[in-house]
Amino acid sequence: MAGSKLTDRHRVKGSTILEVIISMIIIIVVFGIAMMIFTNVNRLSLSVKKLKAQAILQHTLLQAEQAKDHSDQTTTVDDLAIRQEITPFENEPGLSVITLTAFDPKHEQVARLKKVIASHEE
């Protein structure tokens, strides 16, 4: 009975296999682009670990500016290894460049801070 009500003039139109494949390809491309954007945003965003490392580097920089001896050294604060490097600033005898770099336990660079400071050498 139910089948007899469907006739040729009331035929339900469907999609061809080609239309379905093209729509699936478009959905996959849009999804791939969205995943790339999401990955880049996550990679470039400031994480809590980066903010914490920046704060520790700022504190270490203040301590290094007040210290009398400027030497290369590596210290550990919490779970971060802080490497301090001092180099002379171009051709100025009274200035030095201090570079502080924070590394996580996997030895990946988390944050970096560079500043020109006055040397206490005479």
pLDDT 10s per residue in the chain (122 long)? 455 555 556 666 778 899 999 999 999 999 999 999 999 888 777 678 888 889 989 998 888 878 766 778 888 888 889 999 888 888 778 888 889 999 988 888 889 999 888 775 54
pTM of the model: 0.58
Residues 38 and 73 in one domain: no
Query: CA 15: distance to chain centroid?
Result: 44
Residues 33 and 55 in one domain: no
Single residue among 6, 26, 45 that ends a domain in this structure: 45
Task: Please calculate the CA angle 110-115-118 and round it to the nearest 5 degrees.
Answer: 145
Domain that holds residue 41: 15-45
Residues 75 and 114 in one domain: yes
Q: Tell whether 10 is covered by a domain.
A: no
Nearest to 109 by CA among 87, 85, 81: 81
Q: Tell whether 108 is covered by a domain.
A: yes
**Tally of domains within the chain:** 2
Residue with tokens 């460049």: 97
Single residue among 27, 45, 63 that ends a domain in this structure: 45
